[in-house]
Amino acid sequence: MFYANRGSNKKIFHASDCSYIKDRNSCISFPTEEDARAEGYRQCDRCAAITKEYLNGNAKIIKSLCKKYHMTVKLFDGKLYVFKGESGWMLTVNQNGKLILFHRNERSRHNVIITKLSAYHRQKTNLSTVEEYLRYILYHESLDFQEKRAFQSIEKNAPHGQKSRKGYYKKRKALKRKFGISRTIKLLNELNKKNGGN
């Protein structure tokens, strides 16, 4: 069962063992999370499964990773939203208590929380901690991964015949130039940071 304090304007529901629940008899009750959300309530960040099972005790590691790699994490309605550049991710806990990761289908403004599940696609990866998923996100957003995916895409769609192969090699050359420029910019930024931004 889940509960919400009667008369509260915050529209937040809590797990039965949450310390914010003072008197269950005076609360509104919901059989499931879905029932509470259908009534316009969102989940308490303190008693959400992702907080109790995965974030407690790992806050320092998560904060350190975010600071080092310029990521942002936001906890909202029982889900952890992760932002890296223009890319958005969502971590949640399934019915079996396991972490599952979703990637946003479209790029948008940084730090914008989109709660609709239709805005995401499930990632086919099975990790056990938030830290591991953050490192997965970092690799997914890296130049190495982006370059690998880009070349895999043109290889998969490589045409046949001498005339059409010219276009294929032209695309390969353009990709090499694009990622070469990106790597140069990245290197210059790193050198600039080491020199104190001068």
pTM for this predicted structure: 0.73
Distance between CA 48 and CA 51 in Å, rounded? 5
- What is the pLDDT, as a whole number, of residue 163? 47
Which pLDDT tens digit goes with each residue over 51-107? Answer: 988 898 888 899 999 998 889 999 999 999 999 888 899 999 988 889 999 999 887
Side chain identity at residue 73, one-letter code: V
Look-up of token digits 């399934």: 94
Q: Is the pLDDT of residue 30 over 60?
A: yes
| Long-range residue pairs from 122-128, CB within 8 A, at least 24 positions apart, any chain | 125/101, 126/98, 127/99, 127/101, 128/98, 128/99
pLDDT band at 9 (very low <50, low <70, confident <90, very high): confident
Check if the beta carbon of residue 116 is closer than 8 Å to that of residue 147.
no
DSSP string, 161-175: SHHHHHHHHHHHHHH
CA distances to 83, 119, 146, 179 from 143, rounded to whole Å, are: 17, 24, 5, 7
Which pLDDT tens digit goes with each residue over 153-176? Answer: 666 666 555 445 666 667 767 766
* 3-state secondary structure (DSSP) of residue 136: helix
Distance between CA 22 and CA 58 in Å, rounded? 28
* 3-state secondary structure (DSSP) of residue 145: helix
- What is the pLDDT, as a whole number, of residue 112? 86
- What is the pLDDT, as a whole number, of residue 154? 61
Average pLDDT of the segment spanning 119-139:
92
**Across all residues in the chain, what is the average pLDDT?**
82
